[in-house]
Chains A and B, each alone.
Chain A
Amino acid sequence: MASDVWPIFTPAGDSAVLVQFGDSIDPRINARVHRLAAGIARAGWAGFGEPVPAYTSLLVNYDPLALDYREAAQKIESLLPKIEDGRVETGARLVEIPVVYGGEEGPDLDDVADAHGLSAGEVIRLHGEAEYLVYMIGFTPGFPYLGGLDERIATPRRASPRTLVPAGSVGIAGQQTGIYPLASPGGWQIIGRTPLSLFDPGREPPSLLAPGDRVRFVPVERAP
């Protein structure tokens, strides 16, 4: 599809506009999503609800008692020039996440290393060297969809999911790496665990990471 067709505006029901900036996982496309989200939040227009960012699209909720679709879409459209020339700051940060790799905290580290003919130390180095982008947060509260995993350690999910993966577990599933914010069942290859709390409903904001943030994993030793 030609790049000049983007962005595409579509109604998502009678109370939201979906703005799509592309159809592939690409940091530049994702950056437009976060800039538009920031622009809408900053505009503070009456009748607009929260924008929900995803890989390539922004879902913009609005109140149909206050606005119709055309009005909502036109307001959003008026922000696009600012989005394109980068005048909107998103407030994204670089967040360092300490990880205890291997052992009890990372029971699949050796399997991941074996699958690629690497040592455990090399997996840790490759996982820790990369800078990751939080494309979006979803699936469960606080769960970051991270992009930027080194292909040399991309590993399929476990054949059989675990019934309980502890909160803070850092895992690999295919080309993705991620962190379980809450204890839950899961099939990712668990290579380590962070002592940081990714999600706490009593904290403001509740999520350690925000969409658009960058992440680095820092290997640490288990606390004595």
Chain B
Amino acid sequence: MSLVAQSPGFLATVQDAGRFGYQRFGVPVSGPMDAFAHATANRLVGNDPGAAALEFAYSGPVLEARADCVVALAGVGFALEVDGAPHAAWMAVRARAGATLSVVSAQRAGWGYLAVSGGIDNPPVMGSRATYTRASFGGLEGRPLREGDLLPIGANRAVIDPAGTSLPEVYRPAYTLHPLLRVISGPQQDAFTAEGWQAFTGSAYTLTTTADRMGYRLEGQPVAHRTGADILSDGIVFGAVQIPSSGQPIVMMSDRQTAGGYTKIAVVIRADLPLLAQCQPGISQVRFQPVTVEEAQRAYRAQMAALRQGIQQPLEEYEYYASA
């Protein structure tokens, strides 16, 4: 069982939940830019939420299914056509062997995820199928999808035929072009002047076109340091907002290095990382709002509960109980 790439789309890479356990050796976590959309696409087709799926940016791929399967598309600004028939995103769709799966992109698309029942089954590297292109490992030999590539698909373990399963919009993050991002201050908030903190929390920052899987550079009112921008390198989490000496924030994303030597004024909360990931380079303006760790964790737990509880099974599909 496999999918074959007829057209690769843009920056299409295999991503699972991420490569954990090797950061102490300098190996980045990688994994999806929008973890919510990635996990949802997987759940909709009956996979483990951390299964390997295809991620792409702005322009999606065209694939041929080489066997019967169920697929789901999630993300912002994409829809799916199966043999020319349109289907909404955030819904599982059945595809027969030989079907053409075309990901259709809106003018303002962000990151999209195509999950297939059984998951993409490329060989794991350091325990993960995630692609890290900078060091060329994981996924398809550590590189983006090319025309003609074959994506092996694992055995489908879903008990219920998931086709028709969906996640209604009300249960998804409130994706928007200009999001308000909640942040937790620190770990080096005291490296900044009071004016610097006010600029950071009181003004809007534009996402520049220097935005990739490693980091998103923002531009706006400079954030002033009290002393300097450099610290002894320490570990970096997804969403950490580094402020180099220019005073312009850089938010560290999926392919971030494991440690860095710039002061970090704050960290974007996990529940709001999908909103940031889906921003439009050169267009989106973001604002930062400080919250407590407790508020952040409540928001994340609520988001995960919405994902679990919000998935709607179509009643008429119960006739498709698998023989297993």
- On A, residues with C-beta under 8 Å from B are 10-16, 18, 20, 23-25, 37, 49-59, 61, 64-65, 68-69, 136-143, 145, 182, 199, 201-202, 204-207, 210-211
Known: A25-B232, A50-B20. A12 touches B26 (CB 8 A): no
Q: Is there a chain A Cβ closer than 8 Å to B51's Cβ?
A: no
**Residues of chain A lying within 8 A (CB to CB) of residue B259:** 52, 54, 136, 138-139
Q: A54-B232, A206-B27 are in contact. Are A11 and B137 (CB under 8 A)?
A: no
Contacts of B186 in A (CB 8 A): 10-12, 18
Binary flags per residue of B164-186, CB closer than 8 Å to A gives 1, else 0: 00000000000000000000101
Q: Which of B26, B28, B238 has the most CB of A within 10 A?
A: B26
B7 close to chain A: CB less than 8 A: no
Q: B interface, how many residues as a size bin?
A: 35 or more
CA of A199 to CA of B25 in the docked complex: distance in angstroms? Answer: 9
User: Does B10 make an interface contact (CB < 8 A)?
Assistant: no
Bound together, the chains give a CA A50 to CA B22 distance in angstroms of: 8
Residues of A within 8 A of B28 (CB): 141
**Can you pick out 30 interface pairs between chain A and chain B where the beta carbons lie within 8 Å of each other?**
A11-B186, A12-B186, A13-B240, A13-B267, A13-B270, A14-B184, A14-B267, A14-B293, A14-B296, A18-B187, A20-B234, A23-B232, A25-B232, A37-B24, A49-B20, A52-B24, A52-B258, A52-B259, A53-B235, A54-B235, A55-B233, A56-B234, A57-B235, A61-B237, A65-B304, A137-B24, A139-B233, A139-B259, A141-B27, A207-B26
Q: With A15-B237, A69-B294 known to touch, is A141 a contact of B25 (CB < 8 Å)?
A: yes
In the complex the two chains form, is B24's CB within 8 Å of A201's CB? no
Which residues in chain B, 126-143, are within 8 Å of chain A measured between CB atoms? 126, 134-135, 137-138
Q: Name the residue of chain A whose CB is nearest to the CB of B127.
A: A204
* A54 lies within 8 A of B184 (CB): no
Residues A207 and B25 in contact, CB atoms below 8 Å apart: yes
Given contacts A57-B234, A138-B257, contact A11 B293 (CB under 8 A): yes
How far in angstroms is the closest Cβ of chain B from A208?
9
- CB-CB nearest 9 A-B residue pairs: A59-B235, A13-B267, A52-B235, A138-B259, A14-B296, A207-B25, A201-B137, A54-B234, A55-B232
B residues less than 8 Å from A64 (CB atoms):
270, 296-297, 300-301
